[in-house]
A and B are shown apart, each in its own frame.
Chain A
Amino acid sequence: MSEYLLEMRGIIKEFSGVRALNGIDLAVKPGECVGLCGENGAGKSTMMKVLSAVYPYGTWQGEILWDGQPLQASGVRATEDAGIVIIHQELMLVPQLSVAENIFLGREPKTRSGLIDFDAMFARATAMLNDLRMPHINAAKPVSNYGGGEQQLIEIAKALSKNARLLILDEPTSSLTRREIDVLLDLVRDLKRRGTACVYISHKLDEIEAIADSVTVIRDGAFVGSAPMAELKQSDIIRMMVGREMNNLFPREEHEIGEVVFEARNFTVWDPENRQRKRVDDISFSVRRGEILGIAGLVGAGRTELVSAIFGAWRGTSEGSVILDGKPLRIRSPSDAVRAGICMVPEDRKAHGIVPDMGVGQNMTMAVLNSFAPGGLINEAAEMNAIGRDIARMRIKTASPILPISNLSGGNQQKAVIAKMLAPAPKVLILDEPTRGVDVGAKYEIYKLIFALARTGTAVIMVSSEMPEVLGISDRVLVIGEGELRGNFANQGLTQEQVLSAAILPAHKHAAE
């Protein structure tokens, strides 16, 4: 018997001649949690697809040893049978089905007559949830009753019901709140104690530090190094990931703050399904020229709802008025907003930011296409010229401007989406989670860009769930909790604890700012 549960050696994976993985090693001991780090596009997901046999044996080179035996799986089913279960970044649950049905999807216990044995299913699911210390999750309720964090826990329960000995978590916390993350990390620790190993992929180094026993870093498809967590600092990992020292994560730059340019007054937003429920309750705020306003809060607090209502994109009912440059505006749709000089980069890049099959360039000119077509016909050469300029300015890494944007890494897609919404030269730019799923290098560039915009007098509103980012970038921070405005702080000596407690506790306890 080998000391390792899993050993991957010299994995090479090519896509039509392009090497995505170039000889990567990864080893996991039983009950160990290995943090897998790398920038977007470094090859983490490809690596995990090799391991879980999404790319079956034979489509890559190298070897995988499982329990010391060569593993030559032909598909995901085979690796799951062996005990390797992957939990994807996007949750794979059927919202209308109950928690128990989701856990046993495809492997439902049957009665002797061949029907689904619901009693046995609910009993087993409930026992399992209790065992995992999630008694608050009711196995009989539909998954849609639960928030993102709990759904993530349900995914893990589902994975464990398949007798997983190795759990792969791919960016499991990208849409979770701090508290939900803590619950998740506790669960992973618990699993480790029971002997379940895991590979934990995350950009969030705090989590890696908290949970991983060892860390493996890959960069551009190549193995960079592997070391016990105890011997590493976060800055070491970052240096290994980007290949350069990055001591200044938030390139704070001075910029002048002018007069009030934008005001949102008395915004209330109702849930589109449950019309009695207020997602945002009477929030007013203003932003000055050249000011960076951070909007912090827990996920689900109503931040995205607030900014999409301001932008005219909210699908349900909302009320409130917008004043730009002292003049009241009537915004009924995003096109009204863009025309008035308010642009928004949405939170969910894949669903709301990109047209995946369109070229990078055509995505970027979408908001200003009319300006290239004075006589009705698009002047393609002028358009290409502008695209080329923006690609260079934003440092978007793409083989060609006509390459479909879905081929780019997350960070480069995000830069293209930001470029798209900067093209109309907005007075107010709303960024909703601008660095979600973006690698460290691209993050840094996006921050620099935000400061550059502020210097030119653009008012920037940035919604973010990453506290260090909010505190590192903003001039002022709004805190929203349960749809209410809980705080409006100047960002001078502001601490994470202050912001977090404002987000959790009702406003009157924070009269003194």
Chain B
Amino acid sequence: MNKPALASTATATAPSGAARNPGFGVKLDHVKGAFSRYKILALLLAIAVIWALFWQLTDGDFLTARNFSNLLRQMSITGMLAAGMVFVIVSGEIDLSIGSLLGLLGGVAAILDVTYHMPLPVTLLVVMILGIAAGMFNGYWVAYLRVPSFIVTLAGMLVFRGILLGITGGVTISPTSAPLIAIGQSYLPDLVTYVMAAAVLGLLVFVSAQGRNRRQHHQLEVPALWLDGLKLFVAAAAIGGFVYAVNSYRGMPTPVLVLLVLLGVFTLMARRTVFGRRIYAIGGNLEATRLSGVNVQRVKLLVFALMGLMAAFAGITTTARLAAGSPSAGSLQELDAIASCVIGGTSLRGGSGTVFGALIGALIMASLDNGMSMLSVDTFWQMIVKGVILLLAVWLDIATGTKR
């Protein structure tokens, strides 16, 4: 897609462990090895195939700037949830409550906005704090009281939805104020997008140069200059293409910007922070991590707190898009988020997965939804197709992955 393509192809080789098992020296294994090593590339290829198919079937309507923009906006809510869900799944847990939590937090945002006329910053702050609190509640039960996360969050799924129905009385709350709506429906001015793209590119160049310097300083092997240059060139091309595409319709949608910022922040968190490293370690071997002196309970608590915050983001965006708080908002969204992660290569055994992959997974799901809707495929067929794709994606992952 854009800049993190660079980051994530690199991560894909590190945690997923290309060299985990030398294999059997049979041809099929080389194919399997190549597949798992270049999982992200395989996903991008899958997107290309899906897009090409819909482009063909819709006589080109699918791949217009307008539809591309729509697609991005459609995936942004699932994407926010998936970005948080990756870490939950990597740490070896699951969160089924976030669809309901999204609905509840979106409902609270609508009530604060419509009923109490709170200024937007207050609404946002309150909803985010509530999201974190709800996530920590889940996390406390999982990490400290040792109730399996499947059960804790299944309970949360019912409880949060119940509270939502209670506080809204089961009716839609509208109309929300213009500033709130803008979060979901506005577009960035073209110039701002160009400037930001340039800034991101500059940052990438800076980070790359700094990394080279630091490796040199610590007398480590420095990769060839042309290789880094090539990576930057590919990143620049991807960013440029992306920005050009969104700007040729109405500009960058605000929720997409939020999603991209999350992608950058979370990728950095996963790869370069202690917290991020801990999450992968816990998913890889909880006991070994605990016995290394890591407070694994706190890490799990924080992972769920982060998930709660993402539910708050998604809830606010949902309410803003609909311009209303709906009592049914977010139903089954948790399953879309989990499916996105899994399609994007996150292992349900824990220990491996990337945010970039999860967002690609969300993009695949959104593409299927969007394309099939354009073709007026019946909803029931859409559900069947998505279910089959999910099943195939996981099977492919298991069939091509190395054995444990």
B20 with A358: CB separation less than 8 A = no
User: Contacts A14-B25, A357-B17: A335 and B293 contacting too (C-beta < 8 A)?
Assistant: yes
B54 to chain A, nearest CB (A): 36
Count residues of A near B (Cβ-Cβ below 8 Å). Answer: 51
Closest to A424 in B: B293
A378 with B288: CB separation less than 8 A = no
Q: Taking each of B22, B23, B217, which has the highest tally of chain A beta carbons within 10 Å of its own beta carbon? A: B22
Is B14 at the interface (CB under 8 A from chain A)?
yes
Complex CA gap A335/B17 in Å reads 28
Is B19 at the interface (CB under 8 A from chain A)?
yes
User: Contacts A333-B295, A369-B277, A424-B293: A355 and B285 contacting too (C-beta < 8 A)?
Assistant: yes
Count residues of B near A (Cβ-Cβ below 8 Å). Answer: 42
Is A490 at the interface (CB under 8 A from chain B)?
no
Is A506 at the interface (CB under 8 A from chain B)?
no
Is A343 at the interface (CB under 8 A from chain B)?
yes
Q: Convert B16-39 into 0s and 1s, putting 1 for each residue whose CB lies closer than 8 angstroms to a CB of A.
A: 110111111110010000000000
A73 to chain B, nearest CB (A): 16
Closest to B216 in A: A381
The one of A353, A358, A367, A370 that contacts B280, using a Cβ cutoff of 8 Å: A358
B274 with A382: CB separation less than 8 A = no
B14 with A359: CB separation less than 8 A = yes
B19 to chain A, nearest CB (A): 6
Is B232 at the interface (CB under 8 A from chain A)?
no
**Residues on the A chain within 8 Å of B29, using CB:** 16
Is A402 at the interface (CB under 8 A from chain B)?
yes
Is A384 at the interface (CB under 8 A from chain B)?
yes
User: Contacts A351-B287, A358-B281: A366 and B272 contacting too (C-beta < 8 A)?
Assistant: no
Is B215 at the interface (CB under 8 A from chain A)?
yes
A238-246, A403-411, A439-447 - the one binding chain B? A403-411
**Residues on the B chain within 8 Å of A59, using CB:** 24-26
**Residues on the A chain within 8 Å of B240, using CB:** none
Which residues of chain A from 189 to 210 have a CB within 8 Å of any chain B CB?
A: none
A398 to chain B, nearest CB (A): 11
User: Contacts A17-B25, A334-B292, A355-B281: A377 and B20 contacting too (C-beta < 8 A)?
Assistant: no
User: Contacts A366-B292, A367-B292: A354 and B285 contacting too (C-beta < 8 A)?
Assistant: yes
Is A344 at the interface (CB under 8 A from chain B)?
yes
The one of A352, A369, A381 that contacts B215, using a Cβ cutoff of 8 Å: A381
**Residues on the B chain within 8 Å of A359, using CB:** 14
Complex CA gap A346/B287 in Å reads 10
User: Contacts A359-B14, A381-B217, A381-B220: A367 and B285 contacting too (C-beta < 8 A)?
Assistant: no
A355 with B25: CB separation less than 8 A = no
Which residues of chain A from 322 to 379 have a CB within 8 Å of any chain B CB?
A: 333-335, 337-339, 343-344, 346, 351-359, 362, 366-367, 369-370, 373, 376-379
22 contacts between A and B (CB under 8 A): A15-B24, A17-B25, A18-B22, A333-B290, A333-B295, A334-B292, A334-B294, A338-B293, A356-B404, A358-B284, A367-B293, A367-B294, A369-B277, A373-B274, A378-B273, A378-B274, A381-B214, A381-B217, A404-B19, A406-B20, A407-B21, A424-B293
11 more CB-based (< 8 A) A-B contacts, given A351-B287, A352-B285, A354-B288: A15-B22, A16-B23, A313-B291, A338-B292, A344-B291, A346-B288, A369-B274, A378-B274, A381-B215, A381-B218, A385-B220
Closest 7 CB pairs of A and B: A338-B293, A355-B284, A15-B22, A381-B214, A381-B218, A366-B292, A355-B285
